[in-house]
Structure 1
């Protein structure tokens, strides 16, 4: 309680306590008896007149001055000054000082009063006045906050016989102790003063306040009704406040609120009042009221501000405003006054930043800031479940990987997340990246469980696709021996997989046996290919008749290419069955020249005709190759074949024409060498050496250097690559690189190798080779390699590699996409700005860049900046980015608890004619959630059911119907409660 209330109470009492006390004069002569009589009767005007008629001496002048002092005349200060100067040792001096001090006291001039009264010699005044002197001097000290000077006098009065100043002294002593926050001592003094009716009520009031300050809330509560009924109006609000707080502390929030409402009626509220009001309303679960009061605090940066922000955060959660809650928890976590509040506020801030902004960095900072809080694994589990819900299996795996010991449920989810992530990677062609996921999935699954066996099967497949054949075979064999995956296609293909691992390692006997095992199983899925590969194994082991039979099975199935026909033809030839070879290879005549083995088949058919002495039929085959094939190597062979037939028929000019075409088309190649030898022989046969010399001079034939030989070998490989026979090209390019590791065309050969793998669908191997090219190449080759490397890497979700490739190739759009995919959210705005600043960027590219910039800003908790962009993009909803932006605006309204805005925006999106049905469905789900939050369960159910019945999923990753199913199940639970 403020000091002036105490002073006012004492002052009223003291004024009523003053009395006229007679003075025992030191000079009672016959002449002044009349004057003294007037003085003692309090007739100070008459007394002064009489004293001033008498001769001046210390007594008469002193009494005249005392009369002036008692009358408080205007001239008494001058009289006092004159008297003290003339009679400093007068016996009336103590009385004069005493009376002057009382005047100063009455006038409220406590500082001077204390100084004057402290000079009074108690022996010079009546004993009856000593208690008043001591008290008023002490009270004057109290008024001037000289408590150390005041307390001894007050204690002295307390020790005197009970009198008018006993209670005031005790009350004042209690007030000093109260001011000093010595509440226990204050209670002792107030208890003494309370026995005086004058101080009973006010002392009881301060006893209550002191008990409250000492934490004796039971006392406050037990005396509350009596005290509250007696307290004056001016003190009622404060008493109501301490009673309210006592009830709140003791857990009776409703009673506390009753008294607080009375306290609030007492007048204007300050910052502390708003804090208490917010705290009280928070305790009574009036969260809206708590928000209203906490937000009226002018400053929330101190210790009570931290508490206010913390409870404000929870209040916003209860009123559905998660966005504001996030800000409040962030503010509370930024202060260190209460470590426990800071830690919990930080955790809630991090959770909301993750939920609302997809910003996981706050969780990371929380774990770093509070490593001993024990919430790390809880956070990782929460992040993992959120990732699973959003089909972000990579994120789920990453989160579970941070948990040291997974519980049963976590282990199950971790196993599924790894398997599903591997499925995504495999679908993208990233088998190597899938291996760790499948290893984890299979290690957590039981070896005999269908899930575990399926995980191991795909692990074997991934090993195989990555060229780790022994590892693949080990798993295939174990599964086969365990009769795993029975009745599933994967189980039927196990022997096929085992066979292929042997085949890739050139172990043809073992491969043939396992291909045979597969074929005998009756499964037809890989029957054609298995027959071909079994034929290849037999062919490599020179079992040509058996190979022909195996190829025949494949041919009967209608193979995709001429390969088994070609191989059968070769086998017939090697078995000495030329007619059968011709019959088999004649199938090529009806095939398309685009078939990878058409040129080979037609060439071998031509050779077979030559062996059968049917050069005309052979020439038809050769001419078909020259006119229709894109494989320059076979065109050269065909031309040489035509030249040979013409030469054998003595048609030398025709033969020279064919051979010279070879030299012109493939200069420096091995075919050119053969053609030049034939040309020399023909000129000799024609006995035209000068013609040969002239021809040689025209083609400037030189001896071949190593550089020429290298170029010739590379040229051949290059021609195969351009013929689009990529398997053969890989072999040719590998031969070149093995022979010329420092060759001038080595980098280009690496690039062609990467390109061949890309065209064959071997994405990871292609990226391996592109990476090698990037480490050595410059110029256009490096640019094209970077572009393809980035494209393939992005498709396999190797976003950091993709970012490297896009940056190297100067692709700003790709860089923006890849940086976002790699979750380098801080970098995305910079790449996006480059797109926006590029005049060559299309409108679609700019829109995508701006959208990803906004999502990255959101993911780094720059929420206002992000939503400014979303608001702009949401105006056009007929594209994916605009529709998603509109949805995010709806989600923001929901997160702020603005359900009217949710409804308005959902129907606006519906009316916009957007074709983005996924985001339209997601928007209606949020609308349903808003109905449920308002406990309009009937409307919520109708909304969810309309989505369920009308929505068609867009793919396996579509989560709409799963979300609806979960919500409908929850509504059913609520309705059945």
Structure 2
């Protein structure tokens, strides 16, 4: 068996000898083909071999991989990877990997080449090829972006004769990219004369010199480059560096052509700043503004500089309002404290000079003083602060600031007194007499200037008069009279008038007459003032029984055609009646009725006509006159009196039935009238005379709702309430009046009880109960309490901000009110109600009515003129409004002037006069900053003006400030809508701005 196995093995060994020889021959052939560069043939030969020995297998794998490397086969990498894994200890591994890396390098496939070079080491490569290997490996790493690995290898070759320049270029670029500009410059300068790199090096040198702030060298390289044939991108990059180099060396005029021509799209904030600043430094402020405006809102050192420079540019073109906003923006950033302080200074000064729509002027000035107490400009700003209190009319803010800052210099004390004086005037004009009293007293106490003290005392007296404080008014007027500075005041000429008015109120008509007579000698009295004076004199004469003289003066006032002429005509007729000249009285009263169709004195005139006809023994005409009283507006309680007179006339003529009907009508319709008891007695007399006593009893019980024997109880209940009211026990009075109304709904004193119930509730501040009582009274037929209750009811609605609900009562009061002050009250509040409701047609109607009826009342005429102007603009009657602008500006002041300025600015905006519109809004901000809501509306309009002028950045800045700071929800909402619109339009028309990064600054010319 053993012999058999040995023999079999020997047989196979001998049989394989020819195959081995064949394999060796094939492998040798493949080697020869590879050595001669015939890689395809060599590969084909290798693929036919089936090597048996391990050594041959390695050789076949080696040559197969090398052939595929040389042929650029995609499979080469896989073959190399397989060889490295199968033969990790082979001496051919380095050669094979290096060969593959070199082949990939030669084809420019640096990423793949680098990955294979990393598998080898330079010391595994033969020394003659070592430097070539190192360069190719380094360059592959460099080209694939692995700068950190490439940098030391390239550095090792810098002195190599063959690869030194190539290594210097790549090494220089790596240093440049990593910000190591010194090494980059050193290596680029070394090879700048090498023809291979001569066209590239200047780009790097330009950038490096610029980044090293060697701007003259950057300019030398850059300007030379721009003369070459560059691509648009290269020209843009180098042109920008040239422009920025000129800019950074202060050569702004030279910089501009490059900065504008080579500006990138989209422009960076730095580009816009440098162009804008260059235009500014060249004095071309108008060109600078659009570029600098694009940095509005940029919260950065560059943004602060841009805002400050923008402010200076706006000043250069005379746009203080716009400059104010720019300096305000710069003052809110603290990157450069010195620049911030100067921006604050400019902001404060411009606020004083041009007004400030964002903050009160005094607030800005005070804040500057708080921020910079050691500022060299402190004294200047302090003076501005004191002046601003008066010129800006921020009186309340002025008082608060002076007191909180503890300013106690003589100048501050006088400023405090002046602010108190003018604030008191505002309160007086607004009808807030209590506040006016407080501030006039404070002005009088604190004034160091006797002239101001005298004026404060005069107006203190006027305020006290309006409050019914006659004794205090007399004291203040005495203080004014004995002040040595009083004769130099504008009020001094009115002293006799005020003294006369006080005497007249006190019932000292002789003294009043003396003062009024003295005042008549005053020069330059207007027609209205002279008529008013004569009316007071006539009233004094009338009260003293000097009817002839009074009649003469009343006649002059009647002929003057002033608003009080109807009253004067009526009083003239009374004088004629008292003098017994009844025919003349009738004629005068007829003239009144013919001349004044809306006069509240028509009803009294009818009544007095009836009385005069009776004196003339013309009963039929008397009856006609008495019965016409009812048809007149504002007849009120005269109606039952006139009907009673007509009834008496009928009775005297023997027409008892007609008399009875009128007396019954008076008793039934006007139960609270003073003539009602007499009318009831007359009804009783006539019915008794006619033998109809039972009818009287039935009638009396019907109209009173109570049997005759209960009348005493009716009266008792009412008197209980009346006594409690007179003692000031208003809760008890209210209870008694309520019980009376509940128990006797048709009692004699129902109107009285309803009125005093309302008064009792009002005294207890129970406005709901008061309103209910007055409403009950107004539902009754007109009586002696109707007009007063109507006024009180309207007042309660006004206090509840329900002026619109008061319109029906206001209309009725205006048509029917007897008292001139009540008709005036109705007219004024109708105008206010329709203005508040934005009912512009009715606003125009009633504003014109006020102007027509009260031309001599300066305050009322101004209010109506402002309302009329507002309505004309709001209803887009632009031509009418424009024609009225200058007239209304001569008339109005205070808040009305603020409104007029706003609406004038709106008109100018509609007309496309944007600069004038902005100027008008600036005036509004400067002179009327205390009217915050109107000022806020002005800011919205200012933003729209800037947008219309193509400056959305300034417009957007204003709106951002409004949104951030306003306390008015409707203003904020409108600002947000406008801002969204402007942003959307701006986004649609302009590319988005970029911020320049450090990388952009370094590489944008490469």
1:781 is displaced (CA, Å) by 6.3
CA 1:771/1:675 → structure 2, altered by over 3 Å: closer, same or farther? closer
- For the residue of structure 2 that corresponds to 1:522, the secondary structure is helix
Identify which of 22, 43, 49 aligns with 1:86: 49
Q: Which residue of 2 aligns with 1:426?
A: none
Are the equivalent residues in 1 in contact too, given 2:324–2:347 (CA < 8 A)?
A: no
Identify which of 230, 236, 246 aligns with 1:284: 246
- For the residue of structure 1 that corresponds to 2:183, the secondary structure is helix
CA 1:526/1:182 → structure 2, altered by over 3 Å: closer, same or farther? same
- For the residue of structure 2 that corresponds to 1:164, the secondary structure is helix
Q: Which residue of 2 aligns with 1:536?
A: 501
Work out the CA distance in 2 between the residues paired with 1:173 and 1:572. Answer: 125
Are the equivalent residues in 2 in contact too, given 1:194–1:203 (CA < 8 A)?
A: yes
Q: Which residue of 1 aligns with 2:463?
A: 501
CA 1:808/1:197 → structure 2, altered by over 3 Å: closer, same or farther? closer
Identify which of 531, 540, 554 aligns with 1:571: 540
* 1:197 aligned onto 2:161: yes
CA RMSD of aligned residues (A): 6.4
CA 1:853/1:739 → structure 2, altered by over 3 Å: closer, same or farther? closer
CA 1:332/1:95 → structure 2, altered by over 3 Å: closer, same or farther? farther
Work out the CA distance in 1 between the residues paired with 2:812 and 2:340. Answer: 49
Work out the CA distance in 1 between the residues paired with 2:21 and 2:103. Answer: 34
Q: Which residue of 2 aligns with 1:428?
A: none
Superposed, 1:717-728 pairs within 5 Å as none
Render the CA deviation track for 1:893-925: whole Å, top value 9, x for unaligned: xxxxxxxxxxxxxxxxxxxxxxxxxxxxxxxxx
* 1:738 aligned onto 2:792: yes
Identify which of 236, 239, 250 aligns with 2:198: 236
Q: Which residue of 2 aligns with 1:670?
A: 637
CA 1:122/1:311 → structure 2, altered by over 3 Å: closer, same or farther? farther
Work out the CA distance in 2 between the residues paired with 1:708 and 1:212. Answer: 108
Identify which of 517, 524, 527 aligns with 1:552: 517
CA 1:86/1:406 → structure 2, altered by over 3 Å: closer, same or farther? closer
Are the equivalent residues in 2 in contact too, given 1:94–1:120 (CA < 8 A)?
A: no
1:531 is displaced (CA, Å) by 2.0
CA 1:120/1:778 → structure 2, altered by over 3 Å: closer, same or farther? closer
| Bigger mean CA offset, 742-751 vs 556-565 | 742-751
Identify which of 156, 170, 173 aligns with 2:137: 173
Are the equivalent residues in 2 in contact too, given 1:418–1:440 (CA < 8 A)?
A: no
Superposed, 1:883-902 pairs within 5 Å as none
Q: Which residue of 1 aligns with 2:209?
A: 247
- For the residue of structure 1 that corresponds to 2:410, the secondary structure is coil
| Bigger mean CA offset, 677-686 vs 447-456 | 447-456
CA 1:270/1:85 → structure 2, altered by over 3 Å: closer, same or farther? farther
Render the CA deviation track for 1:519-573: whole Å, top value 9, x for unaligned: 5543574455432332222222232322222222123437624444444444345
Work out the CA distance in 2 between the residues paired with 1:604 and 1:798. Answer: 32
- For the residue of structure 2 that corresponds to 1:236, the secondary structure is coil
Render the CA deviation track for 1:82-110: whole Å, top value 9, x for unaligned: 34423635878877877777676666669
Work out the CA distance in 1 between the residues paired with 2:571 and 2:302. Answer: 83
1:457 is displaced (CA, Å) by 2.2
Identify which of 135, 160, 164 aligns with 2:128: 164
Q: Which residue of 2 aligns with 1:13?
A: none
Q: Which residue of 2 aligns with 1:971?
A: none
1:174 is displaced (CA, Å) by 2.1
| Bigger mean CA offset, 251-260 vs 282-291 | 282-291
CA 1:582/1:109 → structure 2, altered by over 3 Å: closer, same or farther? same
Work out the CA distance in 1 between the residues paired with 2:864 and 2:808. Answer: 27
The count of residues paired between Structure 1 and Structure 2 equals 736
CA 1:245/1:607 → structure 2, altered by over 3 Å: closer, same or farther? closer
1:500 is displaced (CA, Å) by 0.6
* 1:151 aligned onto 2:124: no
Superposed, 1:60-71 pairs within 5 Å as 61-71=26-36
Work out the CA distance in 1 between the residues paired with 2:280 and 2:289. Answer: 6
Work out the CA distance in 2 between the residues paired with 1:822 and 1:360. Answer: 24
1:503 is displaced (CA, Å) by 0.8
Q: Which residue of 2 aligns with 1:955?
A: none
* 1:682 aligned onto 2:649: yes
CA 1:141/1:545 → structure 2, altered by over 3 Å: closer, same or farther? same
Work out the CA distance in 2 between the residues paired with 1:105 and 1:555. Answer: 126
Work out the CA distance in 2 between the residues paired with 1:861 and 1:681. Answer: 78
Q: Which residue of 2 aligns with 1:747?
A: 807
1:191 is displaced (CA, Å) by 3.4
Superposed, 1:837-848 pairs within 5 Å as none
Extract unaligned runs of 5+ from structure 2: 1-19, 248-253, 373-377, 675-749, 756-784, 798-803, 852-858, 886-898, 914-938, 955-1006
CA 1:682/1:115 → structure 2, altered by over 3 Å: closer, same or farther? same
Work out the CA distance in 1 between the residues paired with 2:504 and 2:630. Answer: 35
Identify which of 521, 530, 549 aligns with 1:583: 549
Render the CA deviation track for 1:99-158: whole Å, top value 9, x for unaligned: 77767666666973894698499999999x998666434423656433565335652x33
* 1:420 aligned onto 2:386: no
- For the residue of structure 1 that corresponds to 2:191, the secondary structure is helix
Q: Which residue of 1 aligns with 2:762?
A: none
Extract unaligned runs of 5+ from structure 1: 1-54, 423-433, 715-730, 833-851, 868-977
Render the CA deviation track for 1:358-393: whole Å, top value 9, x for unaligned: 899999999999999999999888777666655566
Q: Which residue of 2 aligns with 1:476?
A: 440
Render the CA deviation track for 1:390-412: whole Å, top value 9, x for unaligned: 55668764994996956546666
TM-score (norm 2): 0.57
Work out the CA distance in 1 between the residues paired with 2:589 and 2:478. Answer: 37
CA 1:380/1:511 → structure 2, altered by over 3 Å: closer, same or farther? same
Superposed, 1:608-623 pairs within 5 Å as 608=575, 610-613=577-580, 615=582, 622=589
1:265 is displaced (CA, Å) by 6.8
| Bigger mean CA offset, 168-177 vs 404-413 | 404-413
Q: Which residue of 2 aligns with 1:139?
A: 102
Are the equivalent residues in 1 in contact too, given 2:629–2:639 (CA < 8 A)?
A: yes
Identify which of 413, 425, 429 aligns with 1:465: 429
- For the residue of structure 2 that corresponds to 1:205, the secondary structure is helix
Work out the CA distance in 2 between the residues paired with 1:778 and 1:332. Answer: 41
Are the equivalent residues in 1 in contact too, given 2:840–2:872 (CA < 8 A)?
A: no
Work out the CA distance in 2 between the residues paired with 1:327 and 1:519. Answer: 64
Work out the CA distance in 2 between the residues paired with 1:360 and 1:673. Answer: 72
Are the equivalent residues in 2 in contact too, given 1:310–1:332 (CA < 8 A)?
A: no
Are the equivalent residues in 1 in contact too, given 2:496–2:516 (CA < 8 A)?
A: yes
- For the residue of structure 2 that corresponds to 1:146, the secondary structure is helix
Work out the CA distance in 1 between the residues paired with 2:362 and 2:205. Answer: 54
CA 1:273/1:494 → structure 2, altered by over 3 Å: closer, same or farther? same
Work out the CA distance in 2 between the residues paired with 1:380 and 1:734. Answer: 57
Are the equivalent residues in 2 in contact too, given 1:354–1:360 (CA < 8 A)?
A: yes
Render the CA deviation track for 1:671-705: whole Å, top value 9, x for unaligned: 343333333333333334367579x59x9878325
CA 1:482/1:613 → structure 2, altered by over 3 Å: closer, same or farther? same
Work out the CA distance in 2 between the residues paired with 1:563 and 1:160. Answer: 123
1:252 is displaced (CA, Å) by 0.6
Render the CA deviation track for 1:19-71: whole Å, top value 9, x for unaligned: xxxxxxxxxxxxxxxxxxxxxxxxxxxxxxxxxxxx98455554544443344
Work out the CA distance in 2 between the residues paired with 1:191 and 1:472. Answer: 89
CA 1:461/1:289 → structure 2, altered by over 3 Å: closer, same or farther? same
